[in-house]
Amino acid sequence: EVLLQQSGPELVKPGASVKIPCKASGYTFTDYNMDWVKQSHGKSLEWIGDINPNNGGTIYNQKFKGKATLTVDKSSSTAYMELRSLTSEDTAVYYCARSKYGNPWFAYWGQGTLVTVSA
Amino acid sequence: DIQMNQSPSSLSASLGDTITITCHASQNINVWLSWYQQKPGNIPKLLIYKASNLHTGVPSRFSGSGSGTGFTLTISSLQPEDIATYYCQQGQSYPRTFGGGTKLEIK
């Protein structure tokens, strides 16, 4: 069974950073890309970027360049997204989701991590 | 970036009805269009990929069609469990983009 396990909610102060893990299981980690998606409360979905766990190659939405950094740890089959210089605009649920080159849809999603930015 | 325009933004229908949601892409995306269902408090769930392919386990009352810039999601014989927000997403190019969502309510 494919599972993407994310960490629990985070409360962070403005200006701080947070690193969200997404641990994959049930498939070969390096066979699929990992994408990240933002959903602000009551809003639609925004694609942040994706990473190829095989070579660490990344593609970012220009809107999130400088805000988000995607990395992976192949030894633990875990993808990470670090968000920096957080503001209230970054308060949202962040999802990891699996995709594949040539299959640009998201059949598997993590449960989401709520990041709340507040003093 | 490719803009995805969904309509309507909200929809109220009766049980047993057939409803259609449309998604218009700002440029040609061939068949690289997916549909997702998100129930309140839940994660998005893939319904349709490549415009018309039903994802595993999705009931056959869901169907998708279209190519190029115009796409539709049809739900026939509406059920209570279909209450959700529906999103389209293009996979033609980066950045991936989603529609604004269609909130479906039961009358």
State how far residue A102 is from chain B, nearest Cα, in angstroms: 9
Is residue A29 classed as helix, strand or coil in its secondary structure? helix
Render pLDDT for B18-56 as a digit per residue (tens, 0 to 9): 999 999 999 999 999 999 999 999 999 999 999 999 999
A105 contacts B46? CB cut-off 8 A: yes
- How far apart are alpha carbons A28 and A32 in whole angstroms? 8
What does chain A come to in residues?
119
- The residue-averaged pLDDT of A50-73 equals 97
Render pLDDT for B40-96 as a digit per residue (tens, 0 to 9): 999 999 999 999 999 999 999 999 999 999 999 999 999 999 999 999 999 999 999
**Nearest neighbour of B94 by CB, restricted to A59, A105, A111:** A59
Element at B19 (helix H, strand E): strand B19-25
Radius of gyration of chain A (CA): 13
Contacts of B45 in chain A (CB under 8 A): 109
- How far apart are alpha carbons A59 and A79 in whole angstroms? 14
pLDDT on residue A101: 85
- How far apart are alpha carbons B90 and A97 in whole angstroms? 15
pLDDT on residue A32: 96
What band does A102 get if pLDDT is binned at 50, 70 and 90?
confident
B49 contacts A47? CB cut-off 8 A: no
Which residue in chain A has the smallest CA separation from B54? A107
A61 contacts B46? CB cut-off 8 A: no
- How far apart are alpha carbons A21 and A19 in whole angstroms? 7
- How far apart are alpha carbons A40 and A35 in whole angstroms? 17
